[in-house]
Structure 1
Amino acid sequence: MRKDTTSTIKRAERFQIILIGEGILVGGIGGLVVLLYRMCLEYAGKWLNMILEYARQSPIRIAAWFLILIAMAWLVGKLVNYEPMISGSGIPQLEGEMVGKLEQKWWKVLPAKFAGGFLCLLGGLALGREGPSIQLGAMVGKGISRGMDRGKTEERFLLTCGASAGLSAAFHAPLAGVMFSLEEVHKNFSVSVLLSVMTASLTADFLSSTVLGIDSVFQFDIVKAL
Structure 2
Amino acid sequence: MKINNNFNRWIWLLFIVFLILGLINQSFGLLAIICMISPIAAGFFKGRIWCGRYCPRGSFYDQVLARVGKEGRRIPPLLKRAWFRWAVFVSLMAFMAYNLFRAEKTLAGVGAVFYTMVVMTTFIGTVLGYFFSPRSWCKICPMGTIAVLAQRGVKEPITLDSERCISCGKCARFCPMEIPVHSFKEDGKVLDPDCLKCGVCIKSCPVKALHFGTGRKNAA
TM-score scaled to structure 2, two decimals?
Answer: 0.30
Which of the pair is proportionally richer in helix? 1
Q: Which has the larger radius of gyration?
A: 1
TM-score scaled to structure 1, two decimals?
Answer: 0.30
